[in-house]
Structure 1
């Protein structure tokens, strides 16, 4: 005969209060204003902003991130639903990152988001340098999806071109703008920080183009910045940088192989890189464990 065993009582589940149903985003959530940007070969920018539907004067405001300085440009209607502002190359925009806003009448500025950026004219750009300086403005999308303009104003300017990375030597080619390349020209490979004297490198080439070599085996551990002395010691000291294209931040995009060698300061690993300001530097790391690698800002 089969005996039925009583089922033990089940523990009572705690009561769970009903959860609120998530609310849908409001249908009328404000859409941030958008700006399409067109760059010209002279260094100017045009901003086409979507119409906000509000009346009154409108301004496109560029605000420098470091110190809050502002440049305001009037926005004028150009077509139905579009407002336009122009930043000519002749209007100075000091170096830095300029966040873009639209300000309506006396209201608070609204952050702009990027639309279409037409930067084709910046590719392989070759300014004359006749004004003694080179102005570069590159609009880009920040990591938060907002519109910012990266600006450089170099007077004079040494543009880094092709880099040939060898086993013991880095060959640098470039072009200088805004100053003549004289017979006394040379390059400086300067240690960042510390009291070590910079190394000199002979400059050759047909002005305004130049070339020089950076000997890895003479460099101690650390970061070395590259400079051009186009008129010798008595003239300006010009930082080498790569600015004349459409890439606002090159550090993570332009990467170069590392050379491993034994130099005057022992076994090292060396490679060129572009800084957060798109200036050209060389990082040298000791291959024996001597602490953390130098910071490459």
Structure 2
């Protein structure tokens, strides 16, 4: 082969190598019913000075907005798989604070690189029913960011009130749910109430009684009651369960026991018209960016 041809070949090989290095590796995620995740990486071009038998790598989870915090980074060791890939395990017993975690892969002292999402097997998260326990409930849901990177949404709660069916009437909203991560759910729920707390406002807390059957509960809230203090803007009411025993922690109502990381734009409910002191308002339930359940009272568009 002539010198110019050899030079051209080397240039093409360098370009291919650079493209392979620039392309993010993909990770497949498999969830288990306890709240753990396993990451499988099959196409990472490792800059391995020790060769392909050198597995000195780590999966690096970085909490968004908390990188410099003591609990802002979690490193999981990578190990070889039978098919020549890599895998890392995130057991439910590893405490992962609530938030959004960006997923990276790192080799030795090299700068960690973001991972792209592969295939997710999240079947065990659908209609998940955690067993009895008083330890914090761990929920981790992988998802693809708008930039095509892999991230995790993490929750860690005890107690936890999981919202279920939501029924809308003309001027009320009825919610069913189940309480988790308390020693005796039926005793915790006895004489408990649902509290609607107006976010950032001076409105009084509104309460309503619960109907209880074992760990299951239901309640009905009146939109008209919430609209009595509506000031004409947008009022957001966060929903909590408060036990009769004031020494016990309340439970935030949320929907996290499934495979949907962001419910705000997916689980939508039609508004109802309600009379407020400043005229007619629109009232509806919705899920926040954290998948917490809230009610919104606002002026018609």
TM-score > 0.5 by shorter chain? yes
Report the TM-score when normalising by structure 1.
0.85
How many residue pairs match? The answer is: 265
Q: How far did 1:263 drift?
A: 4.6
Pick closer, same or farther for the CA change 1:128–1:213 going to 2, 3 Å: same
2:189/2:212 contact within 8 Å kept = no
Once the two structures are superposed, residues 130-173 of structure 1 have per-residue CA deviations (whole angstroms, 9 ceiling, x without a partner) of 13321100011000000001100001101000000111000011
Structure 1 match to 2:115: 112
- Say whether 1:52 aligns with 2:33: no
Structure 2 match to 1:39: 31
Over the residues paired in the alignment, what is the CA RMSD in angstroms? 1.8
Structure 2 match to 1:272: 285
Q: How far did 1:231 drift?
A: 3.9
1:231 & 1:243 partners in 2: Cα distance? 25
Structure whose alpha-carbon radius of gyration is higher: 1
1:138 & 1:257 partners in 2: Cα distance? 27
Match of 2:85 among 76, 82, 93: 82
After the TM superposition, which residues 75-224 of structure 1 pair with which residues of structure 2 at under 5 Å, given as runs?
A: 75-179=78-182, 180=185, 181-220=188-227, 221=230, 222-224=235-237
Unaligned runs of 5+ in 1: 1-23, 288-292
Q: What secondary structure is seen at the aligned counterpart in 1 of 2:256?
A: coil
Structure 2 match to 1:19: none
Unaligned runs of 5+ in 2: 1-11
Q: What secondary structure is seen at the aligned counterpart in 2 of 1:27?
A: helix
Pick closer, same or farther for the CA change 1:129–1:92 going to 2, 3 Å: farther
1:199 & 1:36 partners in 2: Cα distance? 45
Q: How far did 1:195 drift?
A: 1.9
2:127/2:258 contact within 8 Å kept = yes
2:274 & 2:225 partners in 1: Cα distance? 11
Report the TM-score when normalising by structure 2.
0.84
2:239 & 2:278 partners in 1: Cα distance? 20
After the TM superposition, which residues 208-287 of structure 1 pair with which residues of structure 2 at under 5 Å, given as runs?
A: 208-220=215-227, 221=230, 222-263=235-276, 266-287=279-300
Structure 2 match to 1:27: 16
